[in-house]
Amino acid sequence: MGERAHSGRRPGVSGTRAAIEAAARRQFAELGYDRTSLRQVAIEAGVDPGLVTHYYGAKPQLFRTVVELPFEPAAMAAAVVPGDRAEVGLRLARFVLGVLEDETGRRRVVGLVRAAASEPEAARIIRDLVTSQIIVPIAEQLDVPDPAYRAGLVMSQIVGLTMARYVVGIEPLASRPAAGVAADLAGTLQRYLAGDLGAG
Amino acid sequence: MGERAHSGRRPGVSGTRAAIEAAARRQFAELGYDRTSLRQVAIEAGVDPGLVTHYYGAKPQLFRTVVELPFEPAAMAAAVVPGDRAEVGLRLARFVLGVLEDETGRRRVVGLVRAAASEPEAARIIRDLVTSQIIVPIAEQLDVPDPAYRAGLVMSQIVGLTMARYVVGIEPLASRPAAGVAADLAGTLQRYLAGDLGAG
């Protein structure tokens, strides 16, 4: 997106890259990692397939370039961290449900979960992204023992909610109002983030 | 497996079906739902592709025939339900980690999660299987309000643990000893199964 300002007048390298990346984003999201090919991305972007390889190398690098978190980590931190420590789990649960109930947010989260589930290569890229952009920042804010492990437990519940409620659609979890689900997840996230683990 | 007793002497319908189903099980597990084709299953089983269609119809029916839960629901119930209600979450957490730390169990759970993530058709079949074989039996044992919803929350945490620890490999969750992870999940499962939801 940042390149747009430079590509106003004529298509150049940045316009070509923007077209390739838009096509890649769409295909990764709609077809999944496996079924997306550099060749089809090039066709949709209207460029020679060799150019895609020239700019990005192979599929993992292209995926790494266009993969997007469903939210700004800074926005999450601002929504979750300030305030009463006893309600940090509830704030995080509401933030997560807010992202997942929004169509764009849900599509991005589901896209990441699907890619991570289907391809070890994509899983590694997503693991690095989630670790550096979500796990480490959360862990840094928590004045508790074992913060990265706690952040991993939090991610496990969020990923599992995405699968059960939005991908597989297990009832009645799938049709329960979001506010109720957030309230029911809050205790779990509270314990993982700030509570006593183990003998729980 | 139950057909083996009838197919001892010569390959017949049951032997052919057994060969097709073995090939299908292997390909669904190793290639995933999407990349498995009736044609390749037929080739591996050494039969005419038309025979696979004749016996099973299309891919969803073949998948439905061979999909396996990673454990016997009765074994889970026997391991989890009897005993102190205050420790039902810990017993379930240990049972789940026991399945996931076993290579065969893990392969089956990961196969189900991958299939559910990648294909809406497979997700529907798995949802029906999980609902009828796991969610309803758990819910029937629980003398609590909203049992099917609680069972769905339990499934969400188990699926998420599978993704985070075994598929994506988020550290340090992925390398933490199973007994510790079970202890840390126990409080979550206890609350979902038997605790006060909501204001947690």
Cα–Cα separations (whole angstroms), residue A89 to A101, A180, B79, B199: 18, 14, 31, 11
Interval B100-130: pLDDT, tens: 999 989 988 888 888 888 878 888 888 888 8
> pTM value?
0.83
Least confident span in A38-42, A96-100, A135-139, B22-26: A135-139
State which amino acid sits at residue B112: L
Q: Give the residue-averaged pLDDT of B7-11.
A: 52
Q: Which residues of A touch B131 (CB under 8 A)?
A: 170-171
- Asked if A113 contacts B118 with a C-beta cutoff of 8 angstroms, the reply is no
Cα–Cα separations (whole angstroms), residue B154 to A126, A164, B9, B64, B149: 25, 10, 46, 24, 9
* pLDDT value of position B91: 93
As a whole number of angstroms, the distance between CA B146 and CA B152 comes to 10
Q: Give the residue-averaged pLDDT of A17-44.
A: 90
- Asked if A156 contacts B160 with a C-beta cutoff of 8 angstroms, the reply is yes
As a whole number of angstroms, the distance between CA B70 and CA B149 comes to 22
Least confident span in A100-104, B68-72, B85-89: B68-72
A170 and B135 within 8 Å at the Cβ level: the answer is yes
Q: How many CA atoms, within 13 angstroms, populate the side-chain half-sphere of residue B54?
A: 9
Q: What is the 3-state secondary structure (H, E, C) of chain B?
A: CCCHHHCCCCCCHHHHHHHHHHHHHHHHHHHHHHHCCHHHHHHHHCCCHHHHHHHHCCHHHHHHHHCCCCCCHHHHHHHHCCCCHHHHHHHHHHHHHHHHHCHHHHHHHHHHHHHHHHCHHHHHHHHHHHHHHHHHHHHHHCCCCCHHHHHHHHHHHHHHHHHHHHHHCCCCCCCCCHHHHHHHHHHHHHHHHHCCCCCC
Least confident span in A49-63, A150-164, B66-80, B94-108: B66-80
Q: Which of B155, B167, B188 sits opposite A188 (nearest CB)?
A: B188
Q: Which residues of B touch A169 (CB under 8 A)?
A: 123, 127
Which among B163, B127, B144, B128 is positioned nearest to B89, based on CA atoms? B144
Which among B100, B85, B104, B73 is positioned nearest to B160, based on CA atoms? B100
Which among B158, B93, B122, B99 is positioned nearest to B29, based on CA atoms? B122
State which amino acid sits at residue A179: A
Q: Which of A34, A153, A169 sits opposite B173 (nearest CB)?
A: A153
Q: Which of B34, B131, B163 sits opposite A170 (nearest CB)?
A: B131
Q: Give the residue-averaged pLDDT of A37-45.
A: 95
Checking if the pLDDT of A3 tops 60, the result is: no
ipTM, 2 decimals? 0.83
Two tokens at B49?
A: 């592709």
Interval A43-88: pLDDT, tens: 999 999 999 999 999 998 899 888 878 888 888 888 888 889 899 9
- Asked if B41 contacts B27 with a C-beta cutoff of 8 angstroms, the reply is yes
A200 and B180 within 8 Å at the Cβ level: the answer is no
Interval B147-166: pLDDT, tens: 889 989 999 999 999 999 99
- Asked if A109 contacts A100 with a C-beta cutoff of 8 angstroms, the reply is yes
* pLDDT value of position B56: 93
Q: Which residues of B touch A172 (CB under 8 A)?
A: 148-149, 152
How near does any CA of chain B get to the CA of A141, in Å? Answer: 17
